[in-house]
A = this chain, B = another copy of it.
Amino acid sequence: MKCECEHCDIKSIFFATIKEDEIEEYCSSRVEKEVKTGDVIIQQGQPIDDFIYLKEGLVKLYRDTPGGQQIISLGKPFDFVSLLSVFANDNYSYSVSAVRDCVICVLSFKEIRQLIQENGAFALKLVSTMNKASERILFDYLDLSQKRLNGRVASVLLYFSEIYDDSKFDLPITRKEISQLVGMSIENVIRAISDFRKDKILNVYGKRIEIVNKELLQKIMELN
């Protein structure tokens, strides 16, 4: 197993803060795993033994609540999967599952802890990167909660358009999952998408989405 991934934040942090010979050690303990769509990667309540990083695919962070599943955030390649509670609790306070087929990079959490203890530069870089991600999650949620239905759905569509870097893409999540992500009923999420289609902002063929009028969609995101 080599450390060959190009855009890996963890690798960058390692190379910026750790001596060459010590990096070997990290590489040897690292394991790549393939995960199928729908598979649960982390189960709420589970002890935190691994430190997980997403190399390929798409995951969702979510909580199970009395009202159903609440999606906290989506994770795209090179995002941390172990987040938030990792340095705070012994057990995960949320679940993570694969929304698409994924490749995850699994490190020993004990070793990461060890490294933080031993290497201050590493500690600062890692904590900084992870806190930035956690802050992004909170602020995205705060932003979302200020918007109304159409604005929320618009922001989800624009998010996917951005991570695929294309105005045409296949929705990687179901409409139900969109509704759990934006905190509105599935029927109204579908209505919002239908409205966009009727207003010629989108072309919709099932999962296939084509954003026709991006400017207007962005306006809707900002104003609704």
A118 to B131, CA, bound (A): 20
In the bound assembly, the distance between CA atoms of A121 and B123 in angstroms comes to 11
**Chain B CB within 10 Å — which of A70, A87, A121, A124 has the most?**
A87
- Would you call A127 an interface residue if the criterion is a C-beta within 8 Å of the partner chain's C-beta atoms? yes
Selected from B89, B120, B132, B137, the residue in CB contact (under 8 A) with A120 is B120
Are A131 and B84 touching (Cβ within 8 A)?
yes
Structural contact, A84 and B138, CB atoms closer than 8 A: yes
* Shortest distance between the CB of A5 and any CB in chain B (Å): 23
Q: Is B183's CB under 8 angstroms from A135's CB?
A: no
Residues in B with CB closer than 8 Å to A146 are: 65, 67, 70, 183
Q: Are the CB atoms of A135 and B72 closer together than 8 Å?
A: no
Q: Give CA–CA (A89, B129) in the complex, Å.
A: 10
A118 / chain B contacts, CB cutoff of 8 Å: 120
Interface string of A126-147 (1 = CB under 8 A from B): 0111011011011101100110
Of B87, B89, B121, B132, which one neighbours A88 at CB under 8 angstroms? B132
Q: Which residue of B lies closest to A121 (CB)?
A: B117
Say what secondary structure dominates the interface of chain A.
helix
Contacts A137-B138, A141-B142, A145-B183; is A124 near B131 (CB within 8 Å)?
no
Alpha-carbon distance A135/B65, docked complex (angstroms): 17
Chain B residues within 8 Å of A70, by CB: 142, 146
B-side contacts of A67, CB under 8 Å = 146
- CB of A110 within 8 A of chain B? no
Q: Tell me which of B87, B129, B137, B142 contacts A72 (CB under 8 A).
A: B142
Closest 4 CB pairs of A and B: A117-B120, A88-B132, A88-B131, A123-B123
